[in-house]
A and B are shown apart, each in its own frame.
Chain A
Amino acid sequence: SITGACQAIQKLTRVRVVDNSALGNTPYHRPPKCIHVYNKTGVGKVGDKILLAIKGEKKKALIVGHKMPGPTMTPRFDSNNVVLIEDNGNPVGTRIKTPIPYTLRRREGEFSKVLAIARNFV
């Protein structure tokens, strides 16, 4: 049975890939799951990098939104959103349609390429 909503992103959470990459959008019989969070705590929030298992491959990804309510004035999304990323930080896809929180702009140095392909900001 499908478990209820998992709040922040940790190991074995099913995530939703939000960019238009081929790896994220081709259907597969298993949803993409997180297998590791690159964090001191195992809980991933917006702006953390995680390791995903998609279509039998391992891929790094960046969290752009989760269902857990964060500090006030930050948006809370209805699904755990993630953008596929290479090891050096380059995004795999070319466009991100879903809205991205403005708080990612603080780390413009690391995520400049991801922010460049984002269309909407919240």
Chain B
Amino acid sequence: RVSSDGKPPKFQPPPKPVIIDRKTQKEERRFLSPEFIPPRGRTDPLKYYIERKDMIQRRKVFNIPEFYVGYVLAVTTADPYASDKSKRFVGICIQRGGKGLGATFVLRNVIEDQGVEMCYELYSPRIQAIEVLKLEKRLDENLMYLRDALPEYSTFDVNMKPVPRMDHEEIPLNKLQVRMKPKPWSKRWERPKYNIKGIKFELPEHKMKAAQKWSQPWLEFDMLREYDTSKIEAKIRKELSEELEK
């Protein structure tokens, strides 16, 4: 290179290599099932510790996949009254409730124009297999409004094949806005208490404004309702990783 004077060009150090440690990043983002986090209350943590031990035992024997609300799952359960003693149900997960061993999830599907919902207990010994057919997160954590939506949004083929996934890291977010049946609905989903983003409200403007009357904007700043789970989660993650390695 041609230098400005006769002197050699100023030494420019090479750019520092950026080390992206993929292993630690992956561990931080690992999913912790919500039923492990104990609810806020005055019960003895020993109860939750014993429950967690039982949950880990069950997970060692039976694989419960990571799933969120909005995934399409197929669950095979044992039933003495079914042919072949087992029955299979395919549906979209609308909600995950309960903590500890009583954790449940509700699957919804529309079969022969009839909406059916099944509530399963995650740790029930009757469940023989849980397969994730479609990985798709939705805008809300509770899809109960699908009961009042048009049935096309809850229909899933019973013989659906698992959708193949390309990436191993990203879970696609479906920003689908669901169209509803005409009112009355089972709950007034337009109210800010439910904070639903996944519905295309076709209500007139004055109704949407009237619904905002019930908004409680002070709730998010209420300090007595705060429940910081970061330390509890870190402890439980450590416990889980130790137990599962044994």
8 Å CB contact of A73 from B111, B116, B120, B186: B120
- B119 adjacent to A76 (CB under 8 Å): yes
Given contacts A72-B121, A76-B117, contact A120 B87 (CB under 8 A): no
B34 in the interface, Cβ–Cβ < 8 Å? no
**Contacting B81 at CB < 8 Å: which of A4, A72, A98, A103?**
A103
B65 at the interface (CB under 8 A from A): no
In the bound assembly, the distance between CA atoms of A63 and B111 in angstroms comes to 18
Q: How far is the CB of B23 from chain A (nearest CB, A)?
A: 39
B104 touches A72 (CB 8 A): yes
Q: A residues within 8 A CB of B113?
A: 98
Of all chain B residues, the one with the shortest Cβ separation from A2 is: B184
Number of interface residues, chain B, beta carbon within 8 A: 23
Question: Is A99's CB under 8 angstroms from B112's CB?
Answer: yes
Partner of A78, one of B77, B79, B114, B119: B114
Interface string of B167-200 (1 = CB under 8 A from A): 0000000000000000010100000000000000
Encoded as 1 (CB less than 8 Å from any A CB) or 0, chain B from 84 to 97 comes to 00010100000000
Q: Is B210 an interface residue (CB 8 A)?
A: no
Interface string of A69-97 (1 = CB under 8 A from B): 10011111111010000000000000001
- How distant is the Cα of A72 from the Cα of B120 in the complex, in angstroms? 6
Determine the residue in chain B with the shortest Cβ distance to A97.
B112
- Cβ of B39 within 8 Å of any chain A Cβ, yes or no, is no
Q: Which of B79, B87, B115 contacts A77 (CB 8 A)?
A: B115
Quick check: A73 and B81 within 8 Å, CB to CB? no
Query: Which A residues are closer than 8 A to B by beta carbons?
Result: 2, 4-5, 65, 69, 72-79, 81, 97-99, 102-103, 105-106, 120-122
Q: List 29 A-B contacts (CB under 8 A).
A: A2-B184, A4-B184, A5-B186, A72-B104, A72-B121, A72-B124, A73-B77, A73-B120, A73-B124, A73-B126, A75-B116, A75-B117, A76-B118, A77-B115, A77-B116, A79-B114, A79-B115, A97-B112, A98-B112, A102-B79, A102-B81, A102-B87, A103-B81, A105-B82, A106-B81, A121-B82, A121-B87, A122-B111, A122-B118
Beyond the given pairs A5-B186, A76-B117, 4 more chain A to chain B contacts, judged by CB atoms under 8 angstroms and listed by A's residue number, are A73-B120, A78-B114, A98-B114, A121-B82
Residues of B within 8 A of A (CB): 77, 79, 81-82, 87, 89, 104, 111-121, 124, 126, 147, 184, 186
